[in-house]
Amino acid sequence: ALYRHVAGIDTAAPGFREIVIRPRPGGGLTHARAAYEAATGRVESGWKLLPGGGLALDVTIPVGSRARIHLPAAGGAAGAAAVTESGRPLAAAPGVRVLDGAAPGEITCETGSGEYHFEVRP
């Protein structure tokens, strides 16, 4: 339960070929980190609350897998503008595609394998 609910690691398909990352900060926690050794490789998710508000999220997706990452941010273009990946605006980050139809209060993006560092600013 900690992997799925706190760190946000889940799967959308058998074998962790399609990974879902949806961290859920709260409950007095200021950070969390978890890793899972899937058949495809190591899946990692670690988040921390930033001073002044916001969230930093580090994600590792193994080779041969794709991930859908849900970030707590206002929806639409305004919300996406508050999110960066490795210091770049989310829309300009290589290997990251912003998806339409996110739930309220979320920005959803899709990535391939690799290491990603997201920051969500208030």
The yes-or-no verdict on residue 9 having pLDDT over 70 is yes
Q: Report the distance separating Cα 45 and Cα 11, nearest Å.
A: 13
Identity at 11, one-letter amino acid code: T
- 1 confidence band (pLDDT: 50, 70, 90): low
**In the prediction, which pLDDT does 76 show?**
65
Pinpoint the alpha helices (H) of 1-122: 2, 76-81
Cα atoms in the Cβ-side hemisphere of radius 13 Å centred on 106: 17
Mean pLDDT across the stretch 111-117? 97
